[in-house]
């Protein structure tokens, strides 16, 4: 292990997503010299954020549970970024019928901030089924964490437990779909434990948090004082003696003591020396990813027909739960958009969105987590400890939890441990300010 306080290393970080930026920040603060390489113009982490009517569209929007995003929020606090609470109510509507019917809306109780059903129709038609499902899920989760066999998939957990269908597929799976942003079948193949930890925390009364200034504010702090080479993809990484050559498509050639690759593993073969890194490539190409389209737009047809039913999260699905989409109403959680035209983010839309109302559309890549990736990660961490290793890998894909900011920050912390870099942000609590005016 390298003692960061004695040896100053010249380190390249390839990729400026959250994993790369967090790694760069931690190692920079430990005294190392850091250079970031990014293929996109600007910073990868906030490359999709854009201005709208003088406000900010943070794409994708990030809202964090203080229990589940501990490391991310602690890092933000350490960097001086404050947070504010948001209320993420949800509405569920049936699709592909003569008339779109909103069958459930939620709010939070004044005491305890617990989720409750808000609309009479939801209580009358589905109330008892939702309450029954909630009780069944609580019992099943309690039994799961008391059992010795916790190495099962989410699908196996469901098959072992009788949980009310409307509650599970109509209310729970949409929430997991929002967080995981991958195919429902893929979610079923995930290890059950991290997802059940997440679901257990949902009943906690703590409000979710957003960062003041959104993702761009966080990125500004993460790259402060760090040299960033953006707008040109890395084309070659090659070990030459005791150093590693990094070359990009602009023809820049720089030599480093260590290189940290923080990109999806699907891109590695395009720049890693095939002979030198053959074993790494063979391992890393086994990680799987899914892609999906995120559309920013002003088409209100993705929301409940009645304006009074609009919530932060709008889920739409068919009655057999074979097709679904979710939409975030940005004005309700982004202060800079209050008073602006209603603007939305829809993930993998299955209903037609008016092309004239599309602001932007981006393709996002998400890691798949399953029993295979758990084993792959164990092997990867062992390889990182090899003597004289000079190239390391990190990303949300290299953790077994949810593929979210937290996994990315956690992967950066794993790299920091290898380099002996201190983690001064550990355990810091978010600085929560009074919520600004929001468009609920």
Q: What is the pLDDT of residues 337-369, one digit of tens each?
A: 999 999 999 999 999 999 999 999 999 888 888
What is the domain count for the chain? Answer: 2
Asked whether residue 69 is domain-assigned, the answer is no
Q: What is the CATH number of the domain that holds 203?
A: 3.90.660
The backbone torsions φ and ψ at residue 238, rounded to the nearest 5 degrees and listed phi first, read: -145, 130
**Least confident segment among 4-13, 129-138, 274-283, 374-383:** 4-13
Task: Return the pLDDT at 111.
Answer: 39
**Least confident segment among 253-262, 301-310, 426-435:** 426-435
CA 326 to CA 433: how far, in whole Å?
Answer: 28
Task: Return the pLDDT at 114.
Answer: 44
CA 430 to CA 71: how far, in whole Å?
Answer: 10
Asked whether residue 162 is domain-assigned, the answer is yes
Cα–Cα distances in angstroms (integers) from residue 87 to residues 119, 207, 211, 334, in the given order? 17, 7, 14, 11
222 lies in the same domain as 330: no
In the sheet where 234-240 sits, what is the strand order?
234-240, 243-248, 253-256
Asked whether residue 429 is domain-assigned, the answer is no
Task: Return the pLDDT at 47.
Answer: 83
**Least confident segment among 7-11, 172-176, 355-359, 394-398:** 172-176
- Is the backbone of residue 103 left (phi > 0), alpha (psi -120 to 50) or beta? alpha
Task: Return the pLDDT at 276.
Answer: 96
Task: Return the pLDDT at 262.
Answer: 96
Which single residue is written with the structure tokens 């059992």? Answer: 147
Task: Return the pLDDT at 277.
Answer: 96
- Asked if residue 376 lies in contact with residue 287, where contact means CB atoms within 8 angstroms, the answer is yes
357 lies in the same domain as 390: no
* Mean pLDDT, the chain, integer: 87
Last residue of some domain: 305, 336, 367? 367
At residue 435 the predicted structure's pLDDT band, cuts being 50, 70 and 90, is low
CA 116 to CA 79: how far, in whole Å?
Answer: 35
Asked whether residue 142 is domain-assigned, the answer is yes
205 pLDDT more than 60: no
Both structure tokens of 23: 């790694």
Cα 2–chain centre separation? 30
Task: Return the pLDDT at 19.
Answer: 95
- Over residues 219-239, the pLDDT tens digits come to 999 999 999 999 999 999 999
The CB-based long-range contact list for 201-205 (8 Å cut-off, 24+ gap) reads 201/65, 201/67, 201/68, 202/65, 202/115, 202/175, 203/114, 203/115, 203/138, 204/65, 204/67, 205/112, 205/113, 205/114
274 lies in the same domain as 293: no
225 lies in the same domain as 272: yes
Last residue of some domain: 304, 332, 367? 367
CA 86 to CA 210: how far, in whole Å?
Answer: 7
Q: Which domain holds residue 119?
A: 77-210+289-367
- Over residues 256-286, the pLDDT tens digits come to 999 999 999 988 999 999 999 999 999 999 9
371 pLDDT more than 90: no
Task: Return the pLDDT at 122.
Answer: 62
CA 415 to CA 27: how far, in whole Å?
Answer: 9
Asked whether residue 72 is domain-assigned, the answer is no
Task: Return the pLDDT at 242.
Answer: 94
Q: What is the CATH number of the domain that holds 20?
A: 3.50.50.60
- Over residues 103-127, the pLDDT tens digits come to 888 765 443 444 556 566 666 777 7
Mean pLDDT value of segment 360-382 = 88
Asked whether residue 87 is domain-assigned, the answer is yes
Task: Return the pLDDT at 4.
Answer: 41
Task: Return the pLDDT at 116.
Answer: 56
203 pLDDT more than 80: no
Asked whether residue 430 is domain-assigned, the answer is no
279 lies in the same domain as 391: yes
CA 214 to CA 328: how far, in whole Å?
Answer: 15
247 lies in the same domain as 376: yes
205 lies in the same domain as 325: yes
44 lies in the same domain as 167: no
103 lies in the same domain as 133: yes
194 lies in the same domain as 226: no
Mean pLDDT value of segment 309-337 = 91
Asked whether residue 64 is domain-assigned, the answer is no
- The pTM for the full model equals 0.88
Cα–Cα distances in angstroms (integers) from residue 178 to residues 27, 62, 313, in the given order? 32, 11, 9
Task: Return the pLDDT at 127.
Answer: 74
Mean pLDDT value of segment 69-92 = 91
38 lies in the same domain as 161: no
161 lies in the same domain as 202: yes
Task: Return the pLDDT at 439.
Answer: 53
DSSP string, 95-130: -SSSS-EEEEEEEE-TTT--EEE--HHIIIIIHHHH
Helices (H) and strands (E) in the chain, counts: 13, 20
């Amino acid at each position: 292990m390298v003692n960061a306080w004695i040896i100053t290393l010249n380190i390249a970080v390839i990729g400026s997503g959250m994993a790369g930026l967090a790694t760069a920040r931690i190692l920079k603060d430990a005294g190392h010299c850091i250079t970031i390489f990014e293929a996109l113009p600007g910073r990868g982490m906030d490359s999709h954020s854009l201005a709208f009517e003088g406000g900010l569209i943070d794409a994708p929007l990030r809202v964090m549970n203080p229990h589940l995003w501990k490391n991310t929020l602690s890092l933000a606090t350490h960097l001086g970024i404050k947070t504010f609470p948001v209320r993420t109510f949800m509405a569920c509507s049936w699709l592909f019928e003569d008339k779109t019917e909103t069958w459930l809306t939620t709010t939070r109780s004044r005491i305890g901030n617990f989720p409750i059903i808000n609309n009479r129709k939801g209580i009358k038609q589905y109330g008892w089924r939702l309450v029954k499902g909630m009780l069944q899920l609580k019992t099943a989760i309690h039994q799961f964490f008391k059992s010795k066999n916790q190495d099962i998939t989410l699908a196996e957990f469901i098959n072992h437990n009788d949980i009310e269908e409307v509650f599970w597929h109509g209310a729970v799976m949409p929430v997991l779909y929002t967080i995981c942003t991958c195919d429902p079948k893929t979610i079923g193949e995930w290890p059950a434990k991290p997802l059940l930890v997440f679901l257990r925390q949902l009943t906690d009364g703590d409000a979710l948090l957003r960062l003041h200034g959104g993702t761009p504010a966080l990125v500004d702090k993460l790259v402060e004082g760090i040299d960033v080479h953006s707008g040109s993809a890395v084309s070659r990484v090659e070990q030459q003696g005791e150093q590693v050559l990094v070359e990009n498509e602009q023809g820049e050639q720089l030599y480093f003591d260590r290189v940290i690759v923080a990109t999806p593993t699907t891109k590695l073969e395009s720049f890693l020396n095939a002979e030198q890194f053959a074993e790494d490539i063979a391992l890393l190409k086994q990680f799987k990813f899914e892609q999906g389209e995120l559309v920013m737009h002003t088409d209100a047809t993705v929301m409940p027909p009645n304006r009074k039913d609009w919530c932060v999260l709008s889920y739409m699905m068919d009655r057999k739960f074979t097709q679904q989409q979710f939409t975030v109403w940005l004005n309700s959680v982004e202060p800079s958009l209050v008073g602006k035209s209603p603007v939305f983010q829809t993930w993998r839309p299955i209903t037609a969105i008016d092309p004239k109302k599309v602001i932007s559309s981006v393709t996002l890549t998400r890691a798949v987590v399953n029993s295979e990736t758990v084993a792959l990660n164990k092997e990867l961490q062992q390889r990182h400890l090899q003597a004289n290793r000079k190239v390391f890998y990190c990303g949300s894909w290299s953790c077994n939890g949810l593929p979210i900011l937290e996994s990315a920050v956690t992967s950066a912390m794993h790299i920091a441990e290898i380099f002996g870099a201190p983690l001064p942000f550990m355990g810091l609590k978010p600085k929560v300010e009074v919520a600004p005016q929001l468009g609920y």
